[in-house]
Amino acid sequence: MKKAKSVLRLNALLGLFLVLAAGVTALGRTRETADPSVRALVLLGEWFGDSYFPLKAEIESRSWTMKRVGLDGEYRGCYNKKRDVVLRSDIVIREGMDLSGFDCLIIPSGPQFRKFRENPSVFKFVKDAHAAGLLIASFCVGNNTVRDAGLIDIPYGEQLFPKKVTLVKERVLLGPRGGGPPPGDGFESAPIKEVCDAIARELAAKPNRAADDSGRAKAPLTMNYLANMGVLVDSGGTKVLIDALFDKPNPEYRAPAPETLEKIMKGEAPFNRVKLALVTHNHPDHFAADVALRFLESQTQAILMAPADAVADMRKTAADWPRIESRIIALDLKPGEKAARNIAGIPFTVVRTLHSGDRDSPMNLMYLFEVNGRRIFHEGDSTGKPEVFGGFGLESAPLDLAVVHYWFPLEPNMSKYFQEVFQPDHIALGHLPVRLESDAPGKIDMVRKYYKDVFLMLPGMPEKIF
């Protein structure tokens, strides 16, 4: 009966929305395009070559943004094994990845190409990246992976390893060989500068990357979903964890998996170097004092910002409060009160609202913040009324990502507000009861056309890249 009532509510909201939808026209935003710095993915795997290191140095010298991408979370190099170098993926290859935040995929040299042949998922990823509009650039034996992926039909020989970097197909660059394994000088002769120069030329000819108002490239924005309203957002290596520090929720909703919490506590990718953790309110499906304390005790550089009532619970629970107190920011605001903060170089606007159901307790904080030119909004568990969103200045500049309740696009007042005023580029829908996980996707599909990008946060969803 409970499930039936919830489904009826979804249907009723959908019906109300569709009645009004004809009169609500989404207002599009345009962003200025320019030819700013490049946002590159570098494909790596087990037995990656030493050419990665000068490639990384070259990319950094050009102030490009780089993310390592691979099938595995970590992998070892192939040469000079005394170093026993282990690298970790910033992004793990998954089905249905959104690559719109990147410009090119670079495939460096190294015998990793042999390992790639053991898993066709790599070749599908390369093809999908090219189909998504990325420039594919490889050199030396990395060219084998481009051929193995079916992007080119070139026989093994001089054509596959040209004497200079060559555009062999639209958005496919092949570079020459390096020095080869000993007695050759290997990566020291790799055509890294030449490949990067060619990438810059090709992308400059087709400027299509988002820039901020100053014309500088915006770093990709990534989002990892944990549970309920819990997310990790990252842009340019600045990572913010929101409503993710809990383990025993209301049984209606999911909690982060134990292995995910363990990664957070150990600072393992993608939770390495988390700069800041945010708490919207003191409810067990968003926050647990003991889990937050464990996080601060294990991640000694991280800062936590939370409502004052949540911090009070932490103080009661802590074994050594003075040890962590300096890294905790407590916000004690009245309903409707707004505060501005700059935490670890990140500008915040915070507004306290009543909790859903018009409850004064616990305090609910909505956060608007900017990381590397990317604006992110998280509503916690607000009343879901358009008037509580006033004061943020949400309409004054493009918003990259909004994390809100699953029913907002279905409720007429909120849907109208989202389309006419709020207009986020990407809307992440959370706080979805477990019992509705199979029913809600169909409802959202019916209203998807009214939004730029809207998606439900569901268990097992891959990392989103914007």
What does the pLDDT average to over 3-7? 49
> Would the pLDDT of 8 be above 60?
no
Mean pLDDT of 438-463: 91
Domains of the chain: 2-30+218-465 (3.60.15.10), 33-210 (3.40.50.880)
Give the pLDDT band (50/70/90) at residue 231. Answer: very high
Most trustworthy range by pLDDT among 9-18, 162-171, 414-423? 162-171
Q: Match 């066709």 to its residue by tokens.
A: 120
Q: Which residue has the higher pLDDT, 178 or 149?
A: 149
Question: Could you give the CA distance from residue 260 to residue 55 in angstroms, rounded to a whole number?
Answer: 32
CA-based nearest residue to 66, from 36, 35, 39: 39
Nearest by Cα to 42 from 78, 2, 75: 75
| Residue 445 pLDDT exceeds 70 | yes
Q: CA–CA separation, 56 vs 65, rounded Å?
A: 10
pLDDT score, position 63: 83
Mean pLDDT of all residues in 313-337 = 94
CA of 456: how far to CAs of 303, 381, 410, 460, in Å? Answer: 29, 16, 13, 12
Compute CA distances 282 → 81, 278, 301, 361, 414, whole Å.
Answer: 49, 11, 23, 9, 25
Nearest CA among 80, 71, 25 for reference residue 450: 25
Q: Is pLDDT above 50 for 22?
A: no
Q: Which two tokens stand for residue 356?
A: 């859903």
Cβ-Cβ contacts under 8 Å for 85 (sequence gap 6 or more): 76, 77
Least confident of 27-36, 132-141, 163-172, 360-369: 27-36
Give, rounded to a whole angstrom, the gap between the first and last alpha carbons of the chain: 39
- The pLDDT of residue 80: 53
- Whether the per-residue pLDDT at 26 is higher than 50: the answer is no
| 391-421 pLDDT tens trace | 666 666 678 999 999 999 999 988 888 888 8
Residue 5 is predicted with a pLDDT of: 47
Positive or negative torsion for Cα 439, 444, 445, 446: positive
Q: How many CA atoms lie within 13 A of 385 on its CB side?
A: 10
Using only C-alpha atoms, the chain has a radius of gyration, in whole angstroms, of 24
pLDDT value at 207 more than 60: no
Query: What pLDDT score does 6 carry?
Result: 53
The mean per-residue pLDDT over the stretch 353-374 comes to: 92
Q: Is the pLDDT of residue 247 over 70?
A: yes
Any bridge partners for residue 173, and if so which?
137, 167
What order do you get walking across the sheet with 91-92 strand by strand?
91-92, 65-70, 39-43, 104-107, 135-139, 172-175, 166-169
pLDDT above 80: residue 274: yes
pLDDT of 227 strictly over 50: yes
Q: Residue 182's pLDDT is what?
A: 52
The residues facing 138 across adjacent strands are 107, 174
Mean pLDDT of 313-332: 95
Residue 251 predicted with pLDDT over 90: no
Tell how far CA 6 is from the center of its chain: 30
Least confident of 28-32, 211-215, 317-321: 28-32
Judged against a pLDDT cut of 50, whether residue 35 lies above it is answered with: no
Q: What is the mean pLDDT of the chain?
A: 84
369 in Cβ contact with 340 (< 8 Å): no
The model's pTM is: 0.62
Residue 325 predicted with pLDDT over 90: yes
Q: Residue 108 — very low, low, confident or very high, per pLDDT cuts 50/70/90?
A: very high
Question: Which of 96-100, 121-125, 210-214, 317-321 is least confident?
Answer: 210-214
If one compares 33 and 273, the residue with the highest pLDDT of the two is 273
Q: Looking at mean pLDDT, say which of 107-121, 237-251, 300-314, 404-418 comes out highest.
A: 300-314
Mean pLDDT of 153-182: 85
Is the pLDDT assigned to residue 346 strictly greater than 70? yes
Q: Nearest CA to 232 among 173, 267, 277? A: 277
Using 50, 70 and 90 to split pLDDT, how confident is the model at 97? confident
Residue closest to 407 by CA, chosen among 3, 27, 28, 15: 15
Q: What whole-number distance in Å separates Cα of residue 142 and Cα of residue 106?
A: 9
